[in-house]
Structures are given as structure tokens and as C-alpha cells.
Amino acid sequence: MKIFRGFHHPGIASACAVTIGNFDGVHRGHQAMLALLQNEASHRSVDSCVLTFEPHPRDYFAAALNKPDLAPARIGTLRDKLTELERCGVRQTVVLPFGARLAAQSPQAFIDEVLVQGLGARYVLVGDDFRFGRQRAGDYAMLDAAGQAHGFDVARMNSYEVHGLRVSSSAVRDALGSGRMQDAAQLLGRPYTISGHVVHGRKLGRALGERSAGAHDGFRTLNLRFAHWKPAASGIFAVRVHGLDEQALEGVANLGIRPSLDPNDANGGRVLLETHCLDWPAHLGAEGAYGKIIRVELLHKLHDELKYDSLDALTAGIARDCADARAWFAAHAETRRQTTRDRI
């Protein structure tokens, strides 16, 4: 998949079938829309294209109006969104920086400058609640009329439902915020996953619970740090880690801001995903994971973040979380074995 920031690039397709949206989470509703887009692009012999925005428009308005509560919790990072769009077969994604200029752009200017001149749209697919342009003044009827005038087809896709529930980013955020990871996975069509580069931290975890002083074989963690992200989920989770070994590794992870540690430390209150593998791969040694891109599947929420009053209390808490995660994986494995036997 080709990725462009803006549309003034020589490598961008001269014509495309495009869909427009934030695509936060790339959930099953998005996936159904992308499948339809692929089909329509194939019929027209043009590339499929996703037009999306970064930052999220509501993030921009929250900052511009100094009202942080307006910013939505985000399901995924830009990296995760692009990964899922590529997995869905999208040929190119155009990421438009959402700022003052785009916020002030009229609906007609958006059609003329972005869809017609910028992307060469031959087919435009939108959701049933799609609005665009300054103050969300543009709607489907306006887009449809513009398509007739400029020679591109316009289609609208109705809501996608699972067990009577409309699949939406809001529904996924609600499930994640409530710790209902199985419900979130059902809406997403996959386990909720966060990816990123493993970065250096304070290396405090390896000294907690070490077998002997100086062994540094305690609770080693894989740290993913996010400077500007308000995740929809937070807390302690049983997880699986991909990207370090041939097989996925079971672990326990903390997603949040580490309330037990000094708020003035290197993390500085930023969101951090700290993952401890229950069985650390020996071939990695102490430093072998740094710089690698990993994917962490958050499978089951154990509890919310807790504030511990001492490192001893923190060590005991992590040990309990590890034991609870092992117990969950063992019970989950037994359930899978029973299900397999029932099918046989």
C-alpha cells in the first residue's frame, strides 16, 4: 500500500475509487465498506484509496478551543490504522493533516480541490452519517449532485450490525473503556492490538523480583511509548506478543501512565504500554528486544491501574498479575480444547 501525506505527490494515482473517514480501529463496519470499495475500484480499473485525517478533527478542535474533553479516546494509533487498511487490500491511503485551513474549507472547495483535482475521484463511497466541509455543512445530497456535475459516482453504505448492534468506533471505544475485550474483539473482527517500536525505559522492572541481587532477571518489560495518544482502553491485561519469536508470547501488560512511579520520570505522564512476557525468550538476552516492532494483543482485562505505595508493594502486585494472567491463559486453553473436542 502506498501512503501519502497530502495529495501533492508525483506517485499518487491519477484516478481512484475513494472512501473518506477517520477509520479509527478499522472495525468490521469499516472492513465491509473497504470490501465494497475494492470491488468498485476493480470494476473501474482504478486504485482503491482511503482519505483519512491526522490528527482526528475532534483532536484539532479540542486543542484550538482549549477544551481537552472534546478529544475522543482513540482506538488505535496511526501506525495501527495504516496496518489494518493495508491488510484490507487498500492500494493507497492519503493522510490529510487536519488544521485550520482544512477546518475552514467550504464543502464545495473540498469537492473541487481534494476529490476532483487532488485525487481524481471516479467513485466516492461514504457512510450513512457522512458530513464534510466547514461546520459539517456538506452532506450526501450535495456530494451526489457534485458527482453528477463532475462525472464521478457516489454511493452511501448503510450501517453494519453484529447481533443487532450497530458497529461503530463509538461502540468499540465503549467496550474497551468498560474492559469488555471480547465484545471489542467481536466488533473489530480481531483481538484489540497495539503496535510500536520497543524503546528504552528506566529498566526498573528487571530489578523487581530478581532471583538474586544484580541478576536483573525480574520483570523485564517491553515499552511502547506514545507522545500524543488518548487510548480508549487502560489498565492491566493478559496479552499475547507478536514479533519477538516464531510463536506468540503470553504476557501481562500495563496500559496507562504508571501512577505508582514518580510523575516527573522519563515517561512524564505520557501513555505507555509496558508488557512483561511470562516466559522471556532466552535468545533475546537482556537487550535484544529494543528497536523491534511488536504487536501486543490485549485479550483480557485483569483490573484498572493501581497506585502502590512502595516498590515492594509494586513487586507483589506485578507477581499477582502474572499469576492471574497465567491462570487466565490456562483456563482459556482448556476452554479451546473442550470446544475442539465438541466439534470433533
**Of 127, 151, 166, at which residue does a domain stop?**
166
In this structure, the answer to whether residues 275 and 150 fall within a common structural domain is no
Residues 161 and 195 in one domain: no
Q: How far is CA 267 from CA 224, 225, 262, 272, in A?
A: 11, 8, 9, 8
- Which CATH number does the domain housing residue 40 bear? 3.40.50.620
Helix (H, G, I), strand (E, B) or coil at 29: helix
Residues 245 and 313 in one domain: yes
92 in a structural domain: yes
For residue 258, give the 3-state DSSP assignment.
coil
Tell me the sheet residues that pair with 156: 126
Q: What is the pLDDT of residue 314?
A: 87
Q: Are residues 229 and 125 in the same domain?
A: no
On the 0-12 / 13-18 / 19+ scale of CB atoms within 10 A, 86 is middle
Residue 126 lies in a domain: yes
**pLDDT tens readout for residues 149-203:** 999 999 999 889 988 889 999 999 999 999 999 999 999 999 999 999 998 876 5
Domain boundary among 115, 132, 166: 166
Nearest in space to 50 (alpha carbons), one of 25, 64, 63, 33: 33
Judgement on whether residues 158 and 197 belong to the same structural domain of the protein: no
Give which of 224, 233, 225 is closest to 25, Cα–Cα: 233
Decide if 232 is inside a domain.
yes
- Do 146 and 111 lie in one domain? The reply is yes
Phi-psi domain of 259 (left: phi exceeds 0; alpha: psi -120 through 50; beta: other):
alpha
Same domain, 246 and 292: yes
Domain with 112 in it = 2-166
CATH number at residue 229: 2.40.30.30
Q: What is the DSSP string of 188-232?
A: HTS-EEEEEE-B-----GGGTT-SSTT---S---EEEEESS--BS
For residues 24 and 109, membership in a common domain is answered with yes
Number of domains in the chain: 2
Q: Burial of 103 by CB count in 10 Å (0-12 exposed, 13-18 middle, 19+ buried)?
A: middle
pLDDT value of position 344: 42
> Strand 222-226 relative to strand 271-277: parallel, antiparallel, unpaired?
antiparallel
**Residue at a domain's end among 131, 166, 201:** 166
- Write down the pTM of the prediction: 0.88
**Same domain (yes/no): 162, 196:** no
**Same domain, residue pair 11 and 158:** yes
- How do the pLDDT tens digits run along the chain, 344 residues long? 999 999 889 899 999 999 999 999 999 999 999 999 999 999 999 999 999 999 889 999 999 999 988 888 999 999 999 999 999 999 999 999 999 999 999 999 999 999 999 999 999 999 988 999 999 999 999 999 999 999 999 999 988 998 888 999 999 999 999 999 999 999 999 999 999 999 887 656 555 655 545 545 568 889 998 866 788 999 999 999 999 988 999 999 999 987 655 555 555 567 899 999 999 888 887 777 888 999 999 999 999 998 888 888 888 899 999 999 999 999 988 656 544 444 44
For residue 96, how many other CB atoms are within 10 A of its CB?
18
Residues 102 and 222 in one domain: no
Same domain, 155 and 247: no
Does residue 200 form part of some domain? Answer: yes
182 falls within a domain = no
Query: Under 8 Å CB-to-CB from 133, ≥6 apart: which residues?
Result: 105, 106, 107, 108, 109, 110
Query: So what's the pLDDT on residue 101?
Result: 94
Bridge pairing between strands 47-54 and 92-97: parallel
